[in-house]
Structure 1
Amino acid sequence: MTIPLVPLRFPIGWTIEWNIFTQVSPEDFVDEEYEHRWEYNEDLFQFVNYRQKRILDLGWYPEFQPNGQYRLVLIQENDNVDDQTNSWSDPIIKYETRSISDVINKIEELLIQVSEGKI
């Protein structure tokens, strides 16, 4: 069974590096026997806006665990490897929730704000 991706509205300027953010319900993920637990990993998507030099990244932490939550981070995109590493440890925005609808709203809000140069 193929699980559909979460539909997202993208403003101009974003590149999808990868996306496996599927329409599974965290409310159903109550134990490790959940058939879709593999959908909850640390690398759900990464979107890049090269013009604004921003990376938006979504994961589930701790991965594959029913007590986890979505973690959405917005970081500065850097050409220098050391600077990029520092960006991950000090994100511009970090947002955590178990609610799929809340994280979708936050994703779309950040996509627009970055595209408009507000963040």
Structure 2
Amino acid sequence: MVQIPLQPLRIPAGWDVSYNGLFEIDPLPELFPDRIPSDLFKEDMLQMNNDRADRLLDVGWYPDGDLVDGNYCVVVYEGDFSGRLIYELITRDRLELVATIERLLSEICHGKL
């Protein structure tokens, strides 16, 4: 079995990673002819918080494990999931997702979001 590496991310200081299961692989059904490994495309992929900025960033794949109809979703909340939703992006493009995560992390650290 091939080991798939975690997706590299540029994370500025001040972020705590609660969990990271965002892998460096595109959501293409043809890459998984037999079955999709259950740990690759799931609702709980990446979660980070910045206490100083009072922000939570969360990334998941919805619906869980569905490579045909699913999408990445990245959200930013004020505080936690019960706080105000500040940002949301839904995409199938992993590179767009990564660029967005890195931009959001930076903007939050600089007080822009």
TM range (shorter): 0.7 to 0.9
**Does the C-alpha gap of structure 1 residues 7 and 114 become closer, same or farther in structure 2, counting only changes over 3 Å?**
same
Alignment partner of 1:74 is 2:76: yes
TM-score when normalising by structure 1: 0.84
More helix by share: 1
The equivalent position to 2:106 in structure 1, one of 82, 104, 112, is 112
Equivalent position SS for 1:92: strand
Residues 13-61 of structure 1: CA distance to partner in whole angstroms, max 9, x if unpaired?
10111101001111x2259855444211000010110100000000000
- After TM superposition, which residue ranges in structure 1, 4 or more long, deviate above 6 angstroms? none
Question: Gaps (5+ residues) in structure 2?
Answer: none
Aligned-pair RMSD on alpha carbons?
Answer: 1.9
Residue from 90, 95, 98 that aligns with 2:89? 95
**Residues matched between the structures, number:** 110
- Gapped regions of structure 1 (runs ≥ 5): 78-83
What is the rounded CA distance, in whole Å, between the counterparts of 2:64 and 2:105 in structure 1?
24
